[in-house]
Amino acid sequence: MDRGWGFLIGLLGAVWLLSSGHGEQQPPETAAQRCFCQVSGYLDDCTCDVETIDRFNNYRLFPRLQKLLESDYFRYYKVNLKRPCPFWNDISQCGRRDCAVKPCQSDEVPDGIKSASYKYSEEANNLIEECEQAERLGAVDESLSEETQKAVLQWTKHDDSSDNFCEADDIQSPDAEYVDLLLNPERYTGYKGPDAWKIWNVIYEENCFKPQTIKRPLNPLASGQGKLLTNTFYSWLEGLCVEKRAFYRLISGLHASINVHLSARYLLQETWLEKKWGHNITEFQQRFDGILTQGEGPRRLKNLYFLYLIELRALSKVLPFFERPDFQLFTGNKIQDEENKMLSFPLHFDENSFFAGDKKEAHKLKEDFRLHFRNISRIMDCVGCFKCRLWGKLQTQGLGTALKILFSEKLIANMPESGPSYEFHLTRQEIVSLFNAFGRISTSVKELENFRNLLQSIH
């Protein structure tokens, strides 16, 4: 076993060491208590508690995952930020410098990444010249062996017909460009107000299986929404089936995670010489304080932990795909490729409880679930801040990939030990988005510890 694969297995395998535990609550009068008093113990629909996740993520997983995401394979993401919004035309573009995204120049992207969107192995690289003659395959990546090219065509048909939960960019489009994620970090850009809230309102109001008569207390900065409204909404939510409840919690968890990032990397000070980014405690409290959000903030944080476990579960499920002997996180840099093989995790959420009822009803519910999420992925093209759009598209594609994995258990189990898999595959885009999306959630959990400590120091 090479060094890199051992690193990946070690990182993922370490998750199996998660054990139960319970944290101590702080006195109720503290600022930390107001944000975190309800964010403890076991999570609904799961068999893991918040304190265990904190210990595992913050001290075992987070440092190793960050190192992995700094490698070439995971830092370069191809994205089309010029796709038009499919739902409305009145998009107000953010003109602030911090909203801009700087794409990579051609010579900045490693050749191994540029030349192969589907390439995982050195063997495929050696067949480039031979495969360049296969013009009949058109848009299919021509750096692949003939056998794999045929598989890709099968994959395309499969993807167009069924199991993808996310509408991904056409990376062959002239408008698709590589972006170095390390040079375009997710942080507060100043993009806010009606345009930003319109995105989340459409997501919640039209895509979360919510009756039109129930209004969600959405804006954490709005005042006077009242506990009656909040309680009415959550009474309805608690009456949902597990699938629809989980869908809402995933979206809420993603929203909470993004808000944690914005609060943790906030523009605190700007001079003509430099900008100072850091933790904005007031911004965090406005979004998550139990009193300021009429009790909803702590619920959002719990949904973030729920999202963490869902994506963790997906990484556990997909381990056999990465264990295949012909799989390689290919960049063209042999040393880095050897260091890049990756993670495996435990079972804290039983997705088998999803769609387990009457087959006809279950099939319709699963299809509704998938189509709702695909719709959300399309809404990301309506975000007026390009940096927010970049990270929104990446994180929704990552979560969509996680859902694809969770509901492909039989396909993964039936994969051949080597050679192309016709039933289940992951493109490089899906792999990069999957791990970076989980990296964002992992960062959020780590930042919650930082905010908890900062809030405790206030008094």
| CA atoms of 316 and 339, how far apart (whole Å) | 20
Q: Which pair of tokens denotes residue 76?
A: 């370069």
Helix (H, G, I), strand (E, B) or coil at 107: helix
CA pair distance 307, 305, nearest whole angstrom: 5
Compute the distance between CA of residue 11 and CA of residue 1 in angstroms, rounded to an integer.
Answer: 15
Catalytic residue list contains 385 = yes
Phi, psi dihedrals of residue 262, rounded to the nearest 5°: -65, -35
| Rounded Cα distance, 21 and 248, in Å | 27
Contact by Cβ (8 Å): 315, 438: yes
Cα separation, 43 vs 147, whole angstroms: 45
Q: Is 324 annotated as a binding residue?
A: no
Is 200 annotated as a binding-site member?
Answer: yes
261 is known to lie in a ligand binding site: no
Cα–Cα dist 265/257, whole Å: 12
Helix extents (H) in 99-178: 111-114, 122-125, 128-131, 146-161
216/232 Cα distance (integer angstroms): 9
Q: Is 189 annotated as a binding residue?
A: yes
Cβ of 256: how many Cβ atoms within 10 Å? 26
| Residue recorded with tokens 């929404």 | 225
Are 190 and 238 in contact by the 8 Å Cβ rule? The answer is no
Q: Is 37 a catalytic residue?
A: no
Within 10 angstroms of residue 215's Cβ, the number of other Cβ atoms is 14
Give, as one character, the DSSP assignment of residue 163.
-
**64 assigned binding-site residue:** no
User: Is 401 annotated as a binding-site member?
Assistant: no
Instruction: Answer for the pair 52, 433: CB distance below 8 angstroms, yes or no.
Output: no
Q: Residue ranges for the binding site for FAD? A: 187, 189, 200, 252, 255, 287
Per the annotation, where are the binding residues? 187, 189, 200, 252, 255, 287
Q: Which residues are catalytic?
A: 385, 388
